[in-house]
């Protein structure tokens, strides 16, 4: 249990850091390409942060309601599809694809009976989005 708690704590920190960096990057971006990329990232940041937070809460509450994790994963997938529709930025789309893969991996772990899957790949993929926004 202690390891899972530390892992969730690190995940929360990673998500908070990701959102903060994306917000700062959007405010400091200059040039047309940079502004377009920052706008794409800002649109993505709110959705992803909420989705990852929802997933974290669902995993934490899986003992009380195991369907929450599945509902959260469905929500993330729906949000990622919307994000992909909003941008034509190849780098942002690649980051979204990485997030989709991470979500798929969590879904597979849950289907295989893991009620408290490691969601760090999801937060790591969100970190990749941060790199895309700051490059």
For 116, left (φ over 0), alpha (ψ -120 to 50), or beta? beta
Q: Over 90: is that where the pLDDT of 102 sits?
A: yes
Mean pLDDT of 107-128: 87
Measure the CA–CA gap between 106 and 116, rounded to whole angstroms: 9
Q: Which pLDDT score, from 0 to 100, does residue 34 have?
A: 61
Task: Give the pLDDT confidence of 67-98 residue by residue, as tens digits.
Answer: 888 888 888 888 777 776 667 778 878 888 89
Q: Which pLDDT score, from 0 to 100, does residue 25 have?
A: 47
Q: Give the pLDDT band (50/70/90) at residue 105.
A: very high
Q: Which pLDDT score, from 0 to 100, does residue 47 have?
A: 72
Q: Over 50: is that where the pLDDT of 115 sits?
A: yes
Measure the CA–CA gap between 35 and 28, rounded to whole angstroms: 9
Q: Over 90: is that where the pLDDT of 127 sits?
A: no
Mean pLDDT of 100-128: 88
Total-model pTM: 0.66
Tokens describing residue 32: 């047309």
DSSP string, 12-38: HHHHHHHHHHHHHHHHH--SHHHHHHH
Mean pLDDT of 117-133: 81
Total H helices, total E strands in the chain? 5, 0
Task: Give the pLDDT confidence of 11-57 residue by residue, as tens digits.
Answer: 555 555 555 545 544 444 445 666 666 666 666 666 777 778 888 88
């Amino acid at each position: 249990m202690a390891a899972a708690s530390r892992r969730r704590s690190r995940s929360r920190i990673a998500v908070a850091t990701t959102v903060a960096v994306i917000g700062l990057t959007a405010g400091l971006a200059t040039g047309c390409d940079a502004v377009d990329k920052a706008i794409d990232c800002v649109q993505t940041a709110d959705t992803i942060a909420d989705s990852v937070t929802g997933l974290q809460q669902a995993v934490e509450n899986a003992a009380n309601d195991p369907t929450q994790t599945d509902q959260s994963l469905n929500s993330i997938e729906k949000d990622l599809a919307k994000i992909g529709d909003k941008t034509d930025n190849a780098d942002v789309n690649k980051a979204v694809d990485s997030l989709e893969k991470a979500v798929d991996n969590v879904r597979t772990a849950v289907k295989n009976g893991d009620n408290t899957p490691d969601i760090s790949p999801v937060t790591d993929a969100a970190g990749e989005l941060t790199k895309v926004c700051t490059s």
